[in-house]
Amino acid sequence: MKKLSDTYKELGIAFSFPIEIKDDNDRVTYYEDSDDYWERFERDAEGRPTYHENSNDYWEKWERDADGCFLYYEDSTGVKKGTPKSITNNQATMKNTLKPLPSFLANMIDKRTEKQIKRLFAVVTDDSLMDADFEYVKAAIACVRNECNQIEAYMEEMDKLASEMDENE
C-alpha cells in the first residue's frame, strides 16, 4: 500500500507527523509516523474492526454475523479461528433445503435450540480464547450472553405453552 505521506508529497500538500485520520466516531482509520510505520483500519457500522494492516506486512480480518457475533478471524501469520461466512452461508443454505417437522414445538426444538446450543458450545469450548485478541473475546462473550438470553426466553415460552396444554386437557 502506498503511504499517505507519499501521496501528500506528490500533490504538494504540507503535513506533519504523525498523520492520523479518524472516522466520525473518533476511531483511528489511518496512522503514519516519521519512522515509516503506518497502519490502517476498516470497521463495520458498529465500529468493530473488520480489517487491519500495517507497514510490517501484517494484516488481520474479522467476520461477524448480522448480530455482530464473531464468525471468523484470520491474520497474516496463519492464525485462523471460527468459520468463514462463505462456509457458514453454505451450511445455512443446506439446512434451509430441509423441510421442517410439521409440529411447531418439534420445529422449535429441532431448529432453534439446536442452533443456539451448537453456537454456545463452539464459543465455550474454544481454547483459542486464551490467546485471542480483545475484540474476539469481547464478541464471543456478547454472543454467549445473547444466546443465553434467547434460550431463557425460549424455555419460558415452552413452559407457558406446556401449562396452557395442561389447562386444555
- Per-residue pLDDT, 16: 93
pLDDT at 130: 46
Q: Where are the alpha helices (DSSP H) in 52-110?
A: 85-96, 104-107
Model confidence at 8: pLDDT above 50? yes
pTM over 0.85: no
pLDDT the model gives residue 96: 46
The answer on pLDDT for 91 being more than 80 is no
Rounded (5°) CA angle 62-70-47: 60
C-alpha cell at 28: 483511528
Give the mean model confidence (pLDDT) for residues 139-154: 73
Better-scored residue on pLDDT, 161 or 135: 161
| Residue 140's pLDDT band (cuts 50, 70, 90) | low
- pLDDT, tens digit (0-9, with 9 covering 90-100), for 37-69: 999 999 988 888 899 999 999 999 999 888 888
pLDDT of res. 89: 52
**Whole-angstrom distance, CA of residue 137 vs CA of residue 130:** 9
Show me where the domains of the chain are located. 84-169
pLDDT at 135: 60
pLDDT above 70: residue 139: no
Strand 80-82 relative to strand 49-54, pairing: unpaired
| The CA-based dihedral angle spanning residues 156, 161, 166, 169, taken in that order and rounded to the nearest 10 degrees | 180
Residue 131 has pLDDT above 90, yes or no: no
Residue 155, pLDDT score: 79
Pairwise CA distance, residues 100 & 52, whole Å: 41
User: Using the 8-state DSSP alphabet, how is residue 97 labeled?
Assistant: T
